[in-house]
Amino acid sequence: MANAQYQRDLLNESGAEMLAICTSQLEKAKDAFLNHDSDLAEEVILNEIRVNALDLRIEKSCEKFLALYNPVAIDLRFIMAIRKINFDLERIADHACSISKYVVEVDEKISSHLFEVLQFQKMYDTIVKMLDNISEAYTNKDVKSARKVFKKDKILDKINTDSFAILEIEIKKDNNIISEALLLFSVIKKMERVGDLIKNIAEEIIFYIDAEVLKHKKKK
């Protein structure tokens, strides 16, 4: 069983690596978008290859672990959780990549006024904090840190819900901003989705550590 433990440790390290890469991708995408930095955006797009390669490596390792070691109890929950976490992280990196593509494709810088009224910075900061919580929870098997993301996700939901009315007002004031507004609306949707994916990861970490299924349940 020593080999199984070794394989599990390797998989755990790969999971941590995936978490670090995807967090970095999202932070870079944020900076690229807020500062309209197309060089940084290009870097995120290029790094997507690394994310995909790591995603496949984790998938293969999970398959191998399941086939060779017949995991049960905490080992089984770990494999089930890491597969889902990996899937969610890859989706987060996909969102980072598509936000970066906007930066490359759109020539004009978005007005800071729109960022401000839509609470873009707050939304990004909240996501970064959520990812910090997840990283802490994953590394230290700390359920408390994982639970912190549920409340924060509500902030993202609120910003997303409010954005429609805010943009409506802004467009009424100046209808030259329609394409800008549509782009921002789309990015806000992506960020809200990232929040949901982080929430899913938190649920998986709690399942792995405490064997508690939180999916589709009201979170405390």
Which residues form the interface with other proteins (CB under 8 A)? 1, 4-5, 70-77, 211
Q: Compute the C-alpha angle 27/102/98, nearest 5°.
A: 60
User: Nearest distance from residue 65's CB to other proteins, in Å?
Assistant: 12
The rounded distance, in Å, linking the Cα atoms of 206 and 142 is 8
Question: What are the residues whose beta carbons fall under 8 Å from the beta carbon of 206, sequence distance 6 or more?
Answer: 143, 146, 147, 212, 214
Q: Which of 77/158 has CB closer to other proteins?
A: 77
Indicate the residue type of 164.
F
Name the token pair of 99. 């936000």
User: Nearest distance from residue 149's CB to other proteins, in Å?
Assistant: 23
User: Nearest distance from residue 73's CB to other proteins, in Å?
Assistant: 5
Q: Which of 16/211 has CB closer to other proteins?
A: 211
Q: Which of 20/74 has CB closer to other proteins?
A: 74
CB 56 within 8 A of CB 77: no
Q: Which of 178/211 has CB closer to other proteins?
A: 211
Q: Which of 72/169 has CB closer to other proteins?
A: 72
User: Nearest distance from residue 2's CB to other proteins, in Å?
Assistant: 9
User: Nearest distance from residue 118's CB to other proteins, in Å?
Assistant: 44
User: Nearest distance from residue 1's CB to other proteins, in Å?
Assistant: 3
Q: Which of 24/71 has CB closer to other proteins?
A: 71
The rounded distance, in Å, linking the Cα atoms of 178 and 33 is 18
Neighbours of 209 (CB within 10 A): 18
Question: What are the residues whose beta carbons fall under 8 Å from the beta carbon of 179, sequence distance 6 or more?
Answer: none
DSSP state at residue 174: -
DSSP of 133-170, one letter per residue?
HHHHHHHHT-HHHHHHHHHHHHHHHHHHHHHHHHHHHH
